[in-house]
Amino acid sequence: MATATAFNWDTVVDYAKRTETRPPKTQYELPGVTVEDHLGVPVAVVPLWHAVVTARLSLPQGEAKALKRAQERLTRALEEVESIYPLTPSGIFIQVAYGLPYFTDYIPAKITDKFMPRALDDGRAKDWALIDAIKFPKDPATIILEHNHISFHFKSDYNDHISDVIRALFHPGTHLLNGIPVENVYVGDLFSVTSIRRGFAGRGMPRTMAQRLRIPGADKIPAGAMLFMGFTSSHVHGLAQGNLPSFETLPGYTDQTPESYFAHGTIMHLSHIAIDLAGWYSLDHKDRLHRMFNPRRTEGPEHLSPSQAPETTTFKEQLEEDARATGILGHNAQMQFLSRVDKNMTTVYGEEIPKGTVIFLRQDFDTVENPFEFNADGPVSPVPVPGVHFIGFAPTAQLFEKMRKEMDGVELQKKYNLPNENTGFTKFLVTTHRQNYLEPPRAHRSFPLAELI
Ligand code: HEM
């Protein structure tokens, strides 16, 4: 007798599979991001619209059942969103990351002791790779070091996708995503939202937005610029490719291996930075070029994307030579001896990467918020301020800390008697908020470690 299995009609005509993508093991890799040629230089066309939602958990601490139930709900919610919007720039990308307080408030020490990635110091596993963010030398006294439990980063070419998903996740009530009723997406009762931060990147938006809002300096922003400060910041050669920023990928940064629970995860730094655009554009093109890249650059104003290929890397000796010979340090040159590998290397996955390959990944975006669209912990001003919601990924928070100190450049400034306006571009920035997060692999994006309690 034939025992035919019932045919599964559910996935026969599935528009969400029109552009089929295999979800990467990391959350930070973005399938479908295309590459454009800018006067011979490859540049990634990153999603146009971005939002970050930060929150504290409203769950009771020490109640394993509640956390496990929350884990199941968030897993289902994210899966339901992704069953409607494809994992491409035309759908939506959601990255979930967790602050230090999540691991200390909700996960018992016997579990974190065993599973949290540890940074290597002289080859020995020491502190967690996730540590609190610090106040850097040039941060204002008013900087807020945040203590959120969780952060969600949304990206899409369509702003409405982001707004609809934020509404469905965090606002009670009946919701439609792309006109389709959704049942499992609302998880707002698990959180107390602390901020909503929104912005954009690319497609001439910085100039358009700044002119519309009459921001001083707007007319000087080059028409095609993807960020307020003019130069492209999504060079293929300036952004870590593939899974390079993951804890385990390159030997020497953490104790993680491809078999570890947090393999394919990484550390994320989130900050908000206000920019003095009028001050920045009071410099001429050459002075901006030198402070953004290095004082040896000669590209004309039509080059918004000067090559960042491995052979253009500035290592420490050259950086000091720049300071000695010209009295100027460029922003990316200040950090490349840390953000790039200083020798040919092989990853734990067998990929060979040449000297000068970048391992730090930036996914920052511009904003006109002052400081956020919604801020539960402080005031919001309606006066627009050009700025950046900075997001950077590195295998350890210790590496980020080292890079960010170099960006302030106090040591070299003292050594070579450099004025503030010649030390990268920190003179034109004011950072208002900071926090480090751990971004788990996609497989553990929902309340990591909860299932082990
Ligand atoms: C207003 C804020 C910022 C702007 C406009 C900005 C812009 C840029 C640009 C245009 C580049 C070179 C282009 C590229 O490589 O794609 C760059 C490189 C870089 N930025 Fe920033 N940046 C900002 C803040 C930061 C912060 C807060 C950090 C934190 C450490 C940072 C770290 C880096 C690093 C490490 C590189 C070099 C990457 C490499 O080539 O190895 N930036 N940035």
Distances in Å between the alpha carbon of 226 and those of 75, 172, 381?
34, 35, 25
User: Which atom from ligand 1 is nearest to the alpha carbon of 231?
Assistant: 10
CA-nearest residue, atom 27 of ligand 1: 390
CB of 331 closer than 6 A to ligand 1?
A: yes
CB of 357 closer than 6 A to ligand 1?
A: no
- For residue 411, which phi and psi values (nearest 5 degrees)? -65, -50
User: Is the distance from CB of 244 to CB of 347 less than 8 angstroms?
Assistant: yes
pLDDT, tens digit (0-9, with 9 covering 90-100), for 133-187: 999 999 999 999 999 999 999 999 999 999 999 999 999 988 899 999 999 999 9
> For position 1, what pLDDT does the model report?
47
What is residue 26's DSSP assignment?
A: S
* Angle subtended by helix axes 331-339 and 316-326, to nearest 10: 160
User: Which atom from ligand 1 is nearest to the alpha carbon of 429?
Assistant: 1
Span from the CA of 234 to the centroid of ligand 1 (angstroms): 9
Span from the CA of 141 to the centroid of ligand 1 (angstroms): 23
The pTM of the whole model exceeds 0.85: yes
Other Cβ atoms less than 10 A from the Cβ of 7: the count is 7
Taking 70 as the pLDDT cut, the residues of the chain under it are 1-4
Q: CA 442 to CA 364: how far, in whole Å?
A: 20
CA-nearest residue, atom 12 of ligand 1: 233
pLDDT, tens digit (0-9, with 9 covering 90-100), for 401-440: 999 999 999 999 999 999 999 999 999 999 999 999 999 9
CB of 221 closer than 6 A to ligand 1?
A: no
> For position 257, what pLDDT does the model report?
98
CA-nearest residue, atom 19 of ligand 1: 332
CB of 269 closer than 6 A to ligand 1?
A: no
Angle at 450 between CA 397 and CA 194, to 5 degrees: 60
Angle at 127 between CA 109 and CA 409, to 5 degrees: 140
CA-nearest residue, atom 40 of ligand 1: 238
Nearest to 342, CA basis, from 308, 314, 307: 314
CA-nearest residue, atom 29 of ligand 1: 404
Alpha helices in 223-315 (DSSP H): 277-280, 285-292
Span from the CA of 295 to the centroid of ligand 1 (angstroms): 16
* Own/partner long-range contacts of 203-209 (Cβ < 8 Å, ≥24 apart): 203/48, 205/48, 205/366, 206/366, 206/386, 209/366, 209/368
Nearest to 252, CA basis, from 167, 407, 359: 359
> For position 7, what pLDDT does the model report?
80
Nearest to 150, CA basis, from 105, 93, 199: 105
> For position 5, what pLDDT does the model report?
77
Domain ranges of the chain: 25-452
User: Is the distance from CB of 437 to CB of 146 less than 8 angstroms?
Assistant: no
Mean pLDDT (the chain) is: 96
Span from the CA of 332 to the centroid of ligand 1 (angstroms): 6
> For position 18, what pLDDT does the model report?
80
- For 10, the token pair is 């559910």
Ligand 1 binding pocket mutation candidate from 221, 319, 331 (most atoms within 8 A of CB): 331
